[in-house]
Amino acid sequence: MDVVDNLNAVRNGELSRRAFTRSLLAAGVGLMTAPLLPRRAMASNPDEATIFTWGGYDIADFYPSYIEKNGVPPNFSIFGGTEEALTKMRGGFVVDAAHPCNAGLKRWKQSGLFQPIDTSRLSNWGDVMPELVNMAENVDDQGTWMAPFDWGGTSITYRTDLFELEGEESWDMLWDQRYAGRLGSLGSGGDAWWCGAIKAGVPFKDIATDDAFERISAVMREQRPLIRLYSDDTTTLEQALASGEMVAAMTWNSSAVALQYDEVPVKFAKPKEGQLTWVCGIMLHKDAPNVDKAYEMIDAMLSPAAGQFMIGEYGYGHSNARAFDEFDDETLVGLGLSKNPADILGAGHFMIPQDQNWESRMNETFEMIKAGF
């Protein structure tokens, strides 16, 4: 490399310091432009739509028709959780669309950052399952706020060979004293608190009451000493289950799918009290700079092709009924899904959107409990 030669030259007094500096400057300039030049083709293109979404959704397979039409995928911006996403957008971060989940629907609407979706502009809208469209808070006199995209369940993934079931599968499994220190859970209140509500027998419609807070807090405090790790990182939980470090953990259905694919003997429980079910979807930002492209993008995500990828590769349900046609019943049941989302969603407990005050209070309480207080 030039610099080394120049170094030697300086050492030997051949190259004056000035010339050396110049050569370094050239190298520095080279360094600066190098990453820019070839990447220009792949860099963020201001003309394309931008979606603010979870990590793992930033891949071309979810946007087939968009890429067909525009030649490139949309721009992606990634968040680790809905809280961080909303905070950022409230801080002035503008995107075309974002990907929250139904539990936050009310809060996201209340933030005033989004506009209703004109569903007539979406060619795939007719195939979107009505049960998902009509979830609470979604359709009101202003229109439809969220275009449902993916859905699934949250339950206990447990090692069939390590966990000795006493009776039926139940949420009590995660409160089982026999396995203290070998249980795990997703760390965000957005999942854990609701599971706690199911365990405490608090109906979701009452979840905002003080009584609910007391009962759920009690239940979570009981669980805390048994938990080895609260993690927002599904990989960690999956690996812990695979190695036997944990015998059971509260996860999304995709984790069970991934582990079964790796031939780890796990099962995604169907607890007698019911699973927790969720739906996530796309919301359109009110100041979206590329509205037309945004609609193309949403339409692409709602297409059967995207759905097939979602079901087959991620194990999550998709909102387009036609996406399920590719799969037989057995596969779907194995994934914890069904051609009829109403079956799953109805059998489980569907999260009811809450407002920001509840969310903050819940998170604050849960974080304190996690901290041991």
Partner 1 sequence: MSELSYIKRPNRGLKIYAAAFLTVLYVPILFIPLFSFNDSLYVKFPLSGFTFQWYIELWERSAVWDSLGNSMRVGVAVSIISTILGTLAARAITRSRLPGQNAIVAFVMLPLVIPGIIFGVSLLILLSRLGVSLSLYTVTLGHLVVCLPFAVATLLPRFEGFDKSMEEASADLGENGWFTFWRVTFPLVLPGVIASLLLTFTISFDEFIMAFFLTGTDATLPMFIWTQLRFPQNFPSVLALASIILLVSFLLVFVALWVGRLGLIEPEESQS
Partner 2 sequence: MADVQMSSAPSARSQRPSGLRSMLYKSETARGYLLLSPALLVMVVGMLIPFTILIAMSFWTRDGFDFDTTMSMTNYQTAMDVPIYNAFLARSFWISGITTVATVLLCYPMAYYVAFHVHRNKMLWIILMTLPFWTSYLLRVFSWKVILGYEGVINSGLLGLGLIDAPLEFLLYSQTAVIITLAHAWAAFAILPMYVSLEKIDRSLLEAAADLGDGPARRFFRITLPLSIPGVISATFLIFIPTTGDYITPALVGGPNSPMIGNLIQLQFGAVNNWPMGAALSVILTLWIAAVGLVFLFVTRKSQESVV
List residues binding partner 2 (CB under 8 A). Answer: 81, 83-84, 87, 90, 110-111, 181, 188-189, 224, 227-230, 240, 243-245, 356-357, 359-360, 363-364, 367-368, 370-373
Cβ 356 to partner 2 shortest distance, Å:
6
Piece of the chain touching partner 1 by CB under 8 A; list 36-44, 109-117, 134-142, 338-346? 36-44
Which alpha helices (H) appear in the chain, and where do they start and end? 2-11, 17-33, 36-39, 64-70, 82-90, 105-110, 130-133, 189-200, 210-223, 234-243, 253-261, 291-301, 304-309, 329-335, 341-347, 356-370
Q: Is 24 in the site for partner 1 (CB under 8 A)?
A: yes
Q: Is 238 in the site for partner 1 (CB under 8 A)?
A: yes
Integer CA distances (angstroms), 73 to 41, 63, 78, 100, 281, in order: 12, 7, 15, 20, 19
Cβ 76 to partner 1 shortest distance, Å:
6
In terms of Cα–Cα distance, which of 156, 191, 187, 149 is closest to 279? 149
Among 2, 19, 22, 43, binds partner 1 (CB under 8 A): 43
Among 19, 94, 180, 218, binds partner 1 (CB under 8 A): 94
Which partner, partner 2, partner 1, none, binds residue 291 by CB below 5 to 8 Å per kind? Answer: none
Identify the residue whose tokens are 């938990």: 227
Cβ 208 to partner 2 shortest distance, Å:
15
Q: Is 56 in the site for partner 1 (CB under 8 A)?
A: yes
Q: Is 228 in the site for partner 1 (CB under 8 A)?
A: no
What does the DSSP assignment read for 78-129?
A: EESSHHHHHHHHHTT---SEE--BGGGHHHHHHTT-EE-B-GGG-TTGGGB-
Cβ 32 to partner 1 shortest distance, Å:
5
Cβ 194 to partner 1 shortest distance, Å:
20
Q: Is 180 in the site for partner 1 (CB under 8 A)?
A: no
Please report which helix (H) or strand (E) contains residue 208, including its range: none
Piece of the chain touching partner 1 by CB under 8 A; list 40-48, 143-151, 190-198, 216-224? 40-48
Piece of the chain touching partner 1 by CB under 8 A; list 112-120, 124-132, 239-247, 319-327? 239-247
Give 297's contacts (C-beta < 8 A, 6+ positions apart). Answer: 49, 51, 63, 66, 74, 96, 97
Longest dimension (CA), the chain: 85
Whole-angstrom Cα distance, residue 338 to residue 328? 9
Whole-angstrom Cα distance, residue 7 to residue 277? 64
Q: Is 356 in the site for partner 1 (CB under 8 A)?
A: no
In this complex, which beta carbon is closest to partner 1, that of residue 72 or of residue 208?
A: 72
Q: Report the interface residues with partner 1, using CB under 8 A.
A: 3-4, 7, 10-11, 13, 17-18, 21, 24, 28, 31-32, 35-36, 39, 42-44, 50, 55-56, 58, 75-80, 88, 91-95, 232-235, 238-239, 242-243, 258
